Structure 1
C-alpha cells in the first residue's frame, strides 16, 4: 500500500530560515496567526494572511506541493462547508469560514514541516515548567503534547485508508464501512503506544 504523508505535513530536513528559527517562535507565530483570523473574522484579512504564509513557506525553500499538502487532505471538508453555507447563508460567509480554516491549517503545516518531534517536545516541556510548583512533571506534559500532535496525522491517515478500502469494496456511502476500521485502528494505535511507554517506564 502506498505510504501516506502526515495530515499536517511530514518534517522536511532543510537549512531555510524557518528551519533555523527556534521552534518556540514558530509556535508563537501559529498562535498569533490563529488569533488574528479569529479576532478579525474578515475574509480580506484571512486572504492576506494566507498569501503571507505561502510566501513564508516558499522563502524558506519548502516545496509548494508540501506547503499545500494539508489543504489537499481537507478538501472534502472545505467543499462541505462551502456547499452548506452557500445554500443556508451566503458565499461570503462560506469564504470567511474557509479562509479562516486555511490560515490555521497552512500555518500549522509550516510548523510541522520545519520542526522535529524532539524540538516540539522541548518547547512543550518549557511551557509546562511553571506547573512544576503544582507537582506536575513538565517532561510528562511535553511527552503527552508531542504524542497528541503526532497522533493526529496517524488518525487522519487511518481515515483515508478506511475510506479507500470502503471505496474499493463499493461501500463508499456506508458509514459503518468507513468508521469501524478507523475506530479499531485508533484503538490498536493507542494500545501499542501505551505498551511502548510501559516498556520505557513511562506508563504511570
Structure 2
C-alpha cells in the first residue's frame, strides 16, 4: 500500500512562507481554526475558513492537487454525510457539517504538507511536557500521535483498496463487500501494532518511572 503515508498529504519540501513558519505557530493556527468552525456552527464561517485554508495553501506555493488530496480519501464519508442530512435534516445543516469537516481536514493536511512528521511529533511532546507533573510521559504522547497519523493513513488506504476490489468484482453497491474487509483489516492492524509495541517493551508503563 504505497499511498498510506499520503492520507493528509505527504511532506513537500519547499521554501514557501508556511514552510518557514515555526511548527508550533502552525499547530496553534490549526487548533484556533478548528475551534472557530466547531463553536460557530455556521456554514458561512466554515466556508470562509475553507476558503482561507485554500488561499493560505496556494500563497505558500502548494500545488492544488496536493492540497486537496485528503478530500479524495474521505469523499465517500462526505457523500454519506450529505445524503444523510438531506434525507433526515436540511440542506443548510448538510452544508455546515460538510464544510466544517473539509475545512478541518484541509487545514490538517496543509500542516502535514509543510511540516516534517518528526518536527510535529516534537511539538506534541513539548505540549505534553506539563503533563509530566500528572505522571504522563511526553514521549508516549509523541508515540501515540505517530501511531494515530500512521493508523489514519493505513485505514484510508485500506478503504480505497477495498473499494477497488469490490468494484473489480462488480460489488461496488454491496455494503458488506466494502466494509467487512476494512473492519477485519483494522482489527488485524491494531493487533499487529500492539504486538510490535509489546515486543519492543512499549506496551506497558515503565514501573521505574515516577
Per the TM alignment, residue 21 of structure 1 is displaced from its structure 2 partner at its CA by 1.4
Query: Which residue in 2 is equivalent to 1:182?
Result: 182
Change (3 A) 1:94 1:183: closer
CA distance in 1, matches of 2:48, 2:136: 40
CA distance in 2, matches of 1:194, 1:89: 40
Per the TM alignment, residue 16 of structure 1 is displaced from its structure 2 partner at its CA by 1.3
SS of corresponding position for 2:157: helix
Deviation track 1:111-154 (CA, whole Å, cap 9, x = no partner) reads: 11112221121011111111112222111111112211221111
CA distance in 2, matches of 1:34, 1:7: 19
Q: 1:60-75 alignment to 2 at 5 Å?
A: 60-75=60-75
Q: Does structure 2 retain, via aligned residues, the 8 Å contact 1:8–1:69?
A: yes
Per the TM alignment, residue 50 of structure 1 is displaced from its structure 2 partner at its CA by 1.2
Q: Which moved more, 1:192-201 or 1:178-187?
A: 192-201
Q: Does 1:47 align with 2:30?
A: no
Q: Which moved more, 1:108-117 or 1:165-174?
A: 165-174
**TM-score w.r.t. structure 1 length?**
0.89
CA distance in 1, matches of 2:42, 2:141: 35
CA distance in 1, matches of 2:66, 2:19: 15
**TM-score w.r.t. structure 2 length?**
0.86
Q: Which moved more, 1:172-181 or 1:119-128?
A: 172-181
Change (3 A) 1:193 1:15: farther
Q: Which moved more, 1:189-198 or 1:63-72?
A: 189-198
Change (3 A) 1:87 1:140: closer
Q: Does structure 2 retain, via aligned residues, the 8 Å contact 1:120–1:146?
A: no
CA distance in 2, matches of 1:149, 1:120: 11
SS of corresponding position for 1:10: coil
CA distance in 2, matches of 1:62, 1:92: 31
